Structure formats: C-alpha cells, structure tokens
Amino acid sequence: MREYLTVTNNVKIEESCDVIVVGAGVAGIAAAVSAARLGKSVMLFEKGTAMGGLATLGHVCVYLPICDGLGHKVYGGMAEELLWLTFKYSYNTLPDCWSYGVDTVENPKGRYATTFNIPAFILTLEEYVKNEGVKVLYDCVFSEPIMEGGVCKGIIVESKSGRSAYMAKMVVDATGDADVMYRAGADTFDTKSIVSHWTYEIDKATLEKGLASGKALDAIRMRWFGLRPDMDNSKATIPTFYGTSLNEVNGYISLAYSLALDYLKEHQTPDYAMLTWPVLPQYRMTRRITGMEQFIPNEGYKETSVGCISHSMENPAAIHEFPYGAILDAKLPNIAAAGRLVAAVDYGWEIVRVIPCCVFTGQVAGTAASLAIDQNCALQEVKIDSLQSVLAETGITIHRTPEMLTGVVSEKKFRDPKYIKGDPHSESLKH
C-alpha cells in the first residue's frame, strides 16, 4: 500500500521537496544540479524516458561555442561543465587550444564548441544528475500547478500511477514551452516554427568514406527533413506550427513523418539505413514568458545582470549581459523560467535558445530558487548581489569586460520575413 502525506484537490500528495524542476532538458538539468549543490532537496520531472531534451531526444548534438570567436571564453559555470560532460565517455570535436579552465586563447584555431554522441551524453547525464543527489522521475507529465493565493504549492503530474501531487517551496519551469508558468498565469508569447527533423543515416558511399578516412564518424551522415522558404519549393506557403496545442504539435509531427517516409521510399536500397529518429519535435521556439525584464541584445551594462551570454552563429559573436528579471514573471513569487522559454526581445530569443545559454539560464534559475529559500523571500526579492556572487564563484562572468566588447551581432539572419510567414495550419489557434 502506498503511503501519502495528505490529499489535495482529490489528488494524493506523494512527496515534498525544496525545489521541483519540470523538464530534464539541458536547462532543467542545470537548474536541478545547481539547487542540489546548494543543499536543497530536488525532484526533476521528465515526460520522456531519457535526459537532455532537444539536445538528445531531438538529436541536436551540436554544443555551440562558449567563446566569442576572438579567443575569449564567454560562458563559464555549468555551460562549460556540461560541454565537457557531452564527451566524458565518447568522442569530441573540441579544438586542442581550448583546454579545460582556459579563459583566453591567442589566435584560436577553432571555437570552444563540440559535437557529441547522443546515447553517450544521455548515459552521462543520468550518472551526473543522480550523483548530485537529484531525484529523477521519468515518464511523468506535468499537468497543472497547485496554486494557493498566487503561490505555487506544487504540481500535479500524470504517470502510470495516475494523477499525483508533489509539493515544493520553489518550482523551475524548464519545459521548453513555459507549460508551468503559462498554466500558473504568467504573461507569455507564442511563435511558430518550421518543420525541421534531424536524423542520421548510413549508406555504401558514406561507409566507404569512413573506411577510407579511418574515421568511423565519416560513415554516418546527418539527414534533415523539413520545409524551408529557401528550398526549391519556396513559392509554396511553408507550413509553420505553434508548439503549444495538441493539434499544432500533431500537425508538425505528421508533416515530419510524411517527409521522411517519402524520402525513405525513394532511397530504399539494400545499402541504405536510416539509423535514428528523433522523439521530440524539433521546435526551435514555441512559447516564452514576457518577463519582468527582457533580454535585449547589445544593451550594455545591466545592474541586474546574472551573466554574459553570446550566440555563435556570428564570428566573432557579440557578448551581452543577461538580466535576472528575464526568468521571472511579476505575478509568480516562486516559479522561475529556465532554458528556451526565458524572456527575450525579438532576435534575442535566437540567442537565448541555444544549448550553452539554456544551461546558463538553468543554472541561474536553480541558484535563485535556492537563495530564495535561504533568504525566505520571493524570487523577485532575492538579493541580486548574493545571486551574482554565487554564480560568479562557479566561473560565470557577470559583467562584460573591456576586451569582451569587440564583435558585432547581425540581425539579418534572424529577421528574414520568409521565416515568419503565417499558414492555414495555425488559423485555429486561440492564444
């Protein structure tokens, strides 16, 4: 017989802890581990059956650079730590010049970045998170927050055991889609994505290439399925989908399946094999919070900065300060955002959604949640200097230094109107 702590809304309360993190993508992992390292009891809920979110289940095995392209490390802290974890038990493509602990490199030959092996990273994360004392619950779908007087007392999840409640002092929303904060009443903003499915394949030609080069990786090729405005069919309307409703998500998945199936039918030979299939739809951006503050690229010094961030598509990449209020909603005293759902203006969303930045905001959210418990206050009242100092101790640079100011960010790539065209699949969406 199961024992329960108490009963709420006809749902049994299974367990209580200090910090609940919903979503075990890279952001949720960073949030959970950082809170656990600060002495908090932490539970991490994941609807899938493996860790890593888009970085693993979505096949995005490219850890974008944590340097600026001019030889300066931008991200320290857990963004750097997780980069090294990606290849703890497997290969990497990290250039030699970026040996661990190095903050600057003169004339760098390559960026502080790597690709990684997905199963190896999943297994490493499993070991890492559990060794840090975090309790992980897979196959558990967050369903709704338990709100009392504007405060989130816990969450209700659906699992093989039915509906259960888990209580906590602080909650981190790392669902990628702001599911927790949206349902708790936060102000949010939705956008649409093109279909984009990465998979991996092998055939006779790539196998021969691998054998000839002596590199096993050359035998595997990435295959992209999707529809982009710059493809041959660009005259047609390119379908785009919101990631925040059942119909939209299913429209996306269904299109990805049909594109892949068409390809498979055409390429069916005894020498061809599709090796993998992503089990998370590859939405770049779905829903983010509006935030108490917003991340705005190139804004310069911010008193509330909790760390420097950059996006690596540009070389060199500009470095920006990320404000604490971009993980908070004014109405929610104990729920913090982590990962690709944090508040960012315009193409700033493109900067905050990449893996290193998601890890970074996860670390900020977990640390802030822990400090709010210690300081017995709302997340909005956490003393900013205490948060900055705990983060800085882990290697995060809070404010830009003069040598970091170099570099330019181009808005062009993020502003192509072709990428934000509407389409009939999304007409029915109500919010």
- Asked if 116 interacts with ligand FAD (CB under 6 A), we say no
- Asked if 340 interacts with ligand FAD (CB under 6 A), we say yes
Min separation Cβ 45 and ligand FAD, Å = 5
- Asked if 145 interacts with ligand FAD (CB under 6 A), we say no
Q: Which residue, among 44, 39, 41, has the nearest Cα to 28 in the 3D structure?
A: 44
- Asked if 297 interacts with ligand FAD (CB under 6 A), we say no
- Asked if 311 interacts with ligand FAD (CB under 6 A), we say no
SS3 305: strand
Binding range to ligand FAD, per CB under 6 A, among 4-12, 62-70, 80-88, 294-302: 62-70
Binding flags for ligand FAD, 17-56, as an x/- string (CB under 6 A): -----xxxxxxx----------------xxxx----xxx-
Min separation Cβ 118 and ligand FAD, Å = 12
Min separation Cβ 374 and ligand FAD, Å = 25
Task: Give the count of residues interacting with ligand FAD (CB under 6 A).
Answer: 36
CA distance 290 to 344: 8
- Asked if 112 interacts with ligand FAD (CB under 6 A), we say no
Integer-rounded Cα radius of gyration of the chain: 22
- Asked if 75 interacts with ligand FAD (CB under 6 A), we say no
Phi, psi of 400 (to 5 degrees): -65, 140
Rule CB under 6 A: choose which of 32, 174, 178, 318 binds ligand FAD: 174
- Asked if 196 interacts with ligand FAD (CB under 6 A), we say yes
CA distances from residue 183 to 95, 146, 147 in whole angstroms, order as listed: 43, 10, 10
CA distance 253 to 58: 12
Nearer to ligand FAD, 24 or 373 (CB): 24
- Asked if 339 interacts with ligand FAD (CB under 6 A), we say yes
Locate 357 and state its tokens: 């930045």
CA distance 184 to 181: 5
**DSSP β-bridge partners for residue 272:** 203
CA distance 338 to 186: 14
SS3 158: strand
Q: Which residue, among 289, 225, 233, has the nearest Cα to 252 in the 3D structure?
A: 225
- Asked if 141 interacts with ligand FAD (CB under 6 A), we say yes
Binding range to ligand FAD, per CB under 6 A, among 212-220, 281-289, 303-311, 328-336: 281-289
Tell me which residue has tokens 């809920």: 45
Nearer to ligand FAD, 153 or 284 (CB): 284
Nearer to ligand FAD, 355 or 379 (CB): 355
Min separation Cβ 222 and ligand FAD, Å = 11
Min separation Cβ 99 and ligand FAD, Å = 21
Strands (E), 138-227: 141-148, 151-159, 162-173, 188-190, 192-194, 196-203, 221-226
Binding range to ligand FAD, per CB under 6 A, among 80-88, 282-290, 329-337, 383-391: 282-290
Nearer to ligand FAD, 32 or 398 (CB): 32
- Asked if 129 interacts with ligand FAD (CB under 6 A), we say no
CA distance 34 to 52: 16
- Asked if 184 interacts with ligand FAD (CB under 6 A), we say no
- Asked if 72 interacts with ligand FAD (CB under 6 A), we say no
- Asked if 354 interacts with ligand FAD (CB under 6 A), we say yes
Nearer to ligand FAD, 211 or 231 (CB): 231
CA distance 425 to 431: 14
Min separation Cβ 74 and ligand FAD, Å = 13
Q: HEC string of 397-423? A: CCCCCHHHHCCCCCCHHHCCHHHHCCC
Residues 6 or more apart in contact with residue 405 via CB below 8 angstroms: 319
Binding range to ligand FAD, per CB under 6 A, among 172-180, 244-252, 295-303, 394-402: 172-180
CA distances from residue 345 to 22, 28, 38, 125, 360 in whole angstroms, order as listed: 24, 22, 31, 31, 18
**Contact positions vs ligand FAD (CB under 6 A):** 22-28, 45-48, 53-55, 58, 60, 62-64, 141-142, 174-176, 179, 196, 280, 282-284, 339-340, 353-355, 358
